[in-house]
Structure 1
Amino acid sequence: MKSWLSSANATGCDFPVQNLPFGVFSQDGEDPRCGVAIGDRVLDLAALERDRLIETGGTSVFEADALKPFMERGPDVWERVRARLTNLLRDSGDTALQKTADRYLIPLTDVTLHLPFKVSEYTDFYAGKQHAFNVGTMFRGPENALPPNWLHIPIGYNGRASSVVVSGTDFHRPNGQLKAPDADAPTFGPSRRLDIELEMGAVVGTGNPMGTPVTVAEADRMIFGYVLLNDWSARDIQAWEYQPLGPFQGKAFCTTISPWVVTRAALEPFRTTTPEREKPLLPYLAEPTPMLYDIALEVGLTPADSNEEAVLSRTNYSSMYYSAAQQLAHHTSSGCPMRAGDLLGSGTISGDTPDSYGSLLEMSWGGKTPITLPNGETRSFLEDGDRVTLRGHAAGDGYRIGFGDCTGTVLPAIKKD
C-alpha cells in the first residue's frame, strides 16, 4: 500500500500510510490540537472533525490538547478512525478525495509537537532479563544476579507522572544525597553518575474498574499504542536511597517520551513471542498469542559543541522477558484501577553484547570501561551538554513503522545556597 503523498513513500520514512501515529501539535501560536503524522506532514484531525470528514461517535475529541478524550472512546472507535484515515491518505486513484485531504496537511517543519497525552500515572518495570542480570552481576555477582521473584513476576515501581516530558525538552542534572562507599555520611550535590535507560512505553487507552483484574488478552486490547521512552537515571542517588523501598529521587527528575504514539494496530504485523520461560508463569500471566513486537532500537549520543553523533547501542524490543500486556495484567491483578493515559515503561532493553546494552551503567560496566566517542572524548556517564537520542522502527516489506526521535539534552544542575 502506498500513499498519494510522495514523502510518505520515501525510503526510510518513519511515517508511511501503514503507520499513522497520533500526536498533539500547534502552529503559529494557536492552541494545541490532535494530529496524525504522514510522510513529512501532519494531518489536522481537529479541522477534519470540525468539517465532519471524520467521526468519533460523539462530541469533539480532536480539538483537545491531548489524546485522552479520543483514547477513552475505545478500540472500536480507534479502528474506525484508522480505517477512515487510511482511506483518505492511501493512493486509491480518487483525486477528489486526495484534494480534500490535502487541504488538511501541514508541514511538520511548521509545527511544534507537544506531549501527546496527559500522563495519568507512570509505572516503570524492570522486565529486561539481560539488563537485570547485568546490573545484578555488578552488585551481587552472577550467582545472585536475579532476585528470587524475577522469573515469576514483572517487577515495577510507581514513578512520577509529573516529570514525563516530550522529546526535545532539555532538563537539569538532578541534585541529591550521594554517599561514597568509604564515606561515613552522605553529601548533597549534583549527580555524577547520570545515565539513560532505553525503554518502550505502553500507553493505556481504556481503564478497568477498581477491584476488577483483567486478563492478558484484555490488557492487550486496552493498550492504545507505544512510544519510545528514556528513563533518565541518577545512579549514585539511586544507589544510596533504593534500599529498602526502591527508586525515588534517582528516577523522579525526568522521563522523556517520543511525540508520536504508534498504535497497536500499526504494530500488529510485527508481533513476536516472548522468550522461552525458565520457570513456568502463573496462569494469570499466560499469553494467548504473541504479545511482543520486533522493533529495532538504537541509542545515539552527541556531546556538547559537536555535530558528530556516536551510536552507542543497537538492540530490539523483542528481547524483553515480559510483554506490556503481561505487565498491565499484573498491574490490575490486585484490583488496581488503570486509566486512560497511564504509561507503562518496559524496563531497560538490553541485548546480550555490550554494543546492545540499553544503559551506560552496563556499557561502561559501572564506569570501569569508559566508552570512547568519535571525537576522542570518553564517557562512563553523561556530561553536561550531552544530547541523547533514541530511535526505533519496525521493518515491513518496503516500508517501516517509525516512532520519530526521542531526544533530550543534559543541562547543568541548579545550585541552591
Structure 2
Amino acid sequence: MQKINGTIATPRGFHADGLHCGLKKKRKDLCWLYSDVPAQAAGVFTTNKVKAAPIHYTKAALADGLIQAVVVNSGNANACTGAVGLADAKKMTELTAEKLGIEPALVAVASTGVIGKLLPMATVAAGIDRLTIEGDATGFQQAILTTDTCEKVSVYQDDLAGTTVTVAGCSKGSGMIHPNMATMLGFVTTDVAIASDTLQEMLAELTETTFNQITVDGDTSTNDMVLVLANGLAHNPPLMKATPAYEKFKKMLAAVMTDLAKEIAKDGEGATKLIEVTVTGAQDNLSARMIAKTVVGSPLVKTAIFGKDPNWGRILCAVGYSETEAAMEGVTIAIGPHVVYADEMPVLFDQEAMKETLEAQEIAITVNLQEGSGQGMAWGCDLSYDYVKINALYHT
C-alpha cells in the first residue's frame, strides 16, 4: 500500500469540480462529485436528533445502494428549515441530475454552514449550472470547507487481484466535532468492485475506530455525513468477506479514514496542537476507545496542553470518569516519552525535556491500565483563546 499525491477524483472514472457561487463572501462554496457509472455506495450519518434536510434526503437515496453524483454546498447548513429545506435539498439533486444527464435518484446532497437559514436557491441553481465534469477536483476539496484552515485529503494505491486500485478521500471539519457514526462531512471514492451492503458493513466498522475517535469541542453536528462511492472501474473480481483482497482493501480504506480523522482533529478551530491518546491494557477494545476519547475530550486536558502544562492529574481524572469499569490501581501515564504517573504515585521527570516535548505540534499521551489486552486510540486538539473568538463571532 502506497500513499500518493492525488485528489478525490484520482480513482478511475471520478470527476469533481467546485466554485464560488455566492453563499460565502469569497471562498468556494458549491461543488459536485461525479462517477462515470453508478457507484455502489455506503454512508454513515449524525445521530443528533436534529437532522438537516440533506441528511434525510441522502439517507433515503442510499436505500438502493447506488449513487452516481454528490452535490455539496458550504456556508449554509440547510438545517432547521422545515419543509422548504427538504424541497430545496431535493431541488439541488434535480438540478444536478439534469445538468449531468442522470436520474435524480442517483444524486446525494450534503450541506454545511450556518443553521436556520434558507438556501438562496436562485444563487445555488446558477452555481450548479456553472459546474463542469472536467473541472478542478481541488475545487471540490476547497468548496466543502467552512472554518477549516486547509484541505484534508488522503489517497492510497495498491495492487488488488493483479490490478492497481485507488482509494481517495477528503473531508471538512474544524468545529462542532464530536461525531457518533459520522464526522462533519467526509467523502471517499474508490474504483474497487464491492457490493454496497459489504461496503456499508465495512464503513460502519471502520468509523468506530477512526471518525468516532475524534473530538474538538464535544458537539455533534446536525449535518454530519460520510459517503463512500465504489464504481468498480478497476474491474477486479467483486470483493468477498474474509478473503485476502477484502482485507487488503479494508486496510486501504482504514488508512484513508484515519488520515482524515487526524487531519480534522489537528485543524480544530483555534487549535495549535494535535493530541493523540493511546490506551493499552484495558479490559477490551471498546473500553480503551472510550477512555482515550474521554481523555482527549477533556477541556482541562486540552487547556493544559495549550498552556504546555504537564498536568497529568487532569489526564488521570478523565480516565476515572470515563464510564468504564477500569480499575485505577495499575494505571501508568506518559506524556510523550516521559512517564509521569505509576504505582498510584507521581513520577519525577526531566522538566527541560518535558518542556521540549510540549513545544511540539503533536502531543502523544499514553495510558496503560494493565488490566487486559484491550487497546484504542483517539485524536483531538488543544483548546485555545482563538476557539472562543471564532465561535463567538460565527454569525458575524
Q: Higher helix proportion, which one?
A: 2
TM-score, with length taken from structure 1: 0.28
TM-score, with length taken from structure 2: 0.29
- Compare relative contact order (CA 8 Å, sep 6+) and give the higher one, 1 or 2: 1
